């Protein structure tokens, strides 16, 4: 049994990305709650940063609480997974509107190249998704160095952590899949397999 922490990205007044009438925070929560359920079913203990869209603590507070519990071993987490969705757009100066870059699609895990465990966790998730024929972007892996910025869930937390971008809301195929229950089940099982593959080797 592992002790895991999951995070449904954004929440409350922070909607995350918005495309049409779809808010990223809503998809993140649906997938995180499903992931929690699957992880618990397989015998793991799961703590999560939010179970609804109310009374959501700010990002910095969430990270600080995780670190406090981790240091005090109450509990000490084996890993953190933060769930997000993506958008890719270009701005049309003539119309003043954003246009979707529809060629951008797929899942990828963001990790810290400075952390051996973060790197291995992200690679395990990417490899498992590839084997399950989940559409990947960037080969399923992007380091924060490649991203060009730090991320709180990866750089401000003590346990090994990755941030998983499930897909692009601006891609019709990705969005349709993300909202489909059959795909949700497949992706949740695949992410859980990737996490367990990592845990079995580290």
Q: Are strands 97-100 and 136-143 parallel, antiparallel or unpaired?
A: unpaired
Average pLDDT for the chain: 97
Higher pLDDT, residue 27 or 94: 27
Tell me what pLDDT residue 183 has: 98
Task: Indicate the pLDDT class of residue 129, thresholds 50, 70 and 90.
Answer: very high
pLDDT for the residue numbered 66: 96
pLDDT at 73: 95
Q: Report percent pLDDT > 90 for the chain.
A: 96
CA nearest to 109, candidates 77, 134, 76: 134
Joined tokens for residue 63? 């990270």
Averaged pLDDT, 104-128: 98
Tell me the domains of the chain and their CATH numbers: 3-201 (3.40.630.40)
Please state, in angstroms and as integers, the Cα–Cα distance from residue 132 to each residue in 33, 125, 180, 188, following that order.
21, 11, 17, 11
What distance lies between CA 9 and its chain's CA centroid? 7
Whether the full predicted model's pTM is greater than 0.75, yes or no, is: yes
- Model pLDDT, residue 189: 98
Query: Which pLDDT does position 139 carry in this prediction?
Result: 97
* pLDDT (average), residues 24-45: 98
pLDDT at 184: 98
Q: Quick one: residue 73, left, alpha or beta (phi over 0 = left, psi -120 to 50 = alpha)? A: left
71-86 residue pLDDT tens: 999 999 999 999 999 9
């Amino acid at each position: 049994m592992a002790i895991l922490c999951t995070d449904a990205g954004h929440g409350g007044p922070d909607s995350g990305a918005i495309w049409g009438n779809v808010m990223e925070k809503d998809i993140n929560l649906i997938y995180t709650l499903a992931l929690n359920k699957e992880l618990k079913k397989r015998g793991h203990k799961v703590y999560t940063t939010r179970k609804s869209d109310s009374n959501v603590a700010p990002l910095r507070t969430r990270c600080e609480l995780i670190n406090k519990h981790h240091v005090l071993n109450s509990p000490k987490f084996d890993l953190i997974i933060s769930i997000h969705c993506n958008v890719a757009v270009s701005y049309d100066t003539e119309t003043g509107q954003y246009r979707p870059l529809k060629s951008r699609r797929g899942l990828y895990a963001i990790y810290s190249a400075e952390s051996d465990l973060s790197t291995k966790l992200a690679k395990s998730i990417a490899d498992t998704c590839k084997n399950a024929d989940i559409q990947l972007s960037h080969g399923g892996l992007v380091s924060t160095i490649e991203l060009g910025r730090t991320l709180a869930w990866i750089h401000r937390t003590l346990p090994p952590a990755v941030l998983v971008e499930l897909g692009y809301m601006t891609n019709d195929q990705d969005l349709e899949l993300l909202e489909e229950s059959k795909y949700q089940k497949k992706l949740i099982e695949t992410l859980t397999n990737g996490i367990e593959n990592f845990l079995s080797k580290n």
